Structure 1
Amino acid sequence: MFEEDYPLRPFLPADAMALRDLFAQSIDELTVDDYDEDQRIAWASSAEDADEFRARLAAALTLVVQLEGEYLGFGSLKDNKTIDMLYVHPDYAGEGVGTALADALEKIAGARGAEALTVDASDTAVPFFERRGYVAAQRNSVPRDDQWLSNTTMIKRLVESQPKKPLKPS
């Protein structure tokens, strides 16, 4: 399946529980090479409060990929300048779901006038964002419960600055 074949739709409050499960499964299965078990548990626990997780998704522009009732992934754009979350179900990793979501979030941000997008990419996600033209700006250590999680703030310019045209003499 090609990324343009994935149906994207806005987040609905009824999606929250399924997306919470997808979030935890994605962290648990896809980041095992980069984060130890305690780190993955601490990271996934950030969605334990269902109301808080639902509110976080609702506060951003969150897109969902759902096919035949199954949730494949979701991504959220915060303040039109930050990809806050981008998670793909482990069964669909590497099949274009993340690409479809990132393409859509970048297009929406650009259409709304954003000149650049930032993302705090997990060590697992850095190669994905590098392939999309994001550049590492800084390394971060984020406290979560009693664990420290590393990630990288990455930036992608959405519009190239145009050289100023000289004024024509009148």
Structure 2
Amino acid sequence: MEQIEGMDIRPVTDEDLDEVLHLFYQTVHTINAQDYRQDQLDTWAPQHPDKEKWLTSLRSNIAYVIKQDNKLVGFADLNQRRYIDRLFVHKDYQRMGIASLLVTTLEAEAKKLKYNEVMTEASITARGFFEKKGYDTVRMQDKELRGMFFRNYIMKKEL
């Protein structure tokens, strides 16, 4: 396990699932609440997510968690389509370099796999972060999820 500025970054394990889901729910319902309506937040991060679907997804992706003092403070994953699927940081640990460390780690993994670019669908909330990390907006979209539409941005970065 790598130690960086008092934080441990490592690949996700099955045992991390409950903490990952809790962090995801809390982050969406607090941080993303500035840009999305409550009904959108409830659809995006339901109180009772499909744990098996999440576990299957995390197992098939390159996924990392960051812990500080044994507490999960962030997670992110990259799938085989060269796509950063999720990037979430605990609501109390925003703007501490955690998201940057996760993205840098995933980009390094992508380079090892000889990917020439990575993509993401950034929320309204995350768009500025990805721009600062060198991602360009390909286009804005209104994406449908379980009957609800969400504005986000398809973004890519050349590696």
Q: TM-score range by the shorter chain?
A: over 0.9
Helix, strand or coil for the counterpart of 2:54? helix
Moved over 4 A (4+): none
Match status 1:94 vs 2:99: no
Structure 2 Cα separation of the partners of residues 129 and 46 of structure 1: 27
Counterpart code for 1:127 = G
Shift of 1:146: 3.4
Correspondence list, 1:110-149, <5 A: 110-149=111-150
- Quick check: which one's strand share is greater? 2
Identity score, percent: 28
Shift of 1:47: 6.8
Helix, strand or coil for the counterpart of 1:32? helix
User: CA 1:47/1:133 → structure 2, altered by over 3 Å: closer, same or farther?
Assistant: farther
In structure 1, the gaps of 5 or more residues are 159-170
Shift of 1:145: 2.7
In structure 2, the gaps of 5 or more residues are none
Aligned residues: 156
Match status 1:20 vs 2:17: no
Whether contact under 8 Å (1:72, 1:92) holds in the other structure is yes
Rg (Cα) greater in structure: 1
Match status 1:78 vs 2:79: yes
Whether contact under 8 Å (1:26, 1:88) holds in the other structure is yes
User: CA 1:46/1:75 → structure 2, altered by over 3 Å: closer, same or farther?
Assistant: farther
Match status 1:48 vs 2:65: no
User: CA 1:4/1:69 → structure 2, altered by over 3 Å: closer, same or farther?
Assistant: closer
Report the TM-score when normalising by structure 1: 0.87
Q: Could you give the per-residue CA deviations for residues 125-167 of structure 1, whole angstroms, max 9, x where no partner exists?
A: 0000000010000122122233211110001000xxxxxxxxx
Shift of 1:111: 2.0
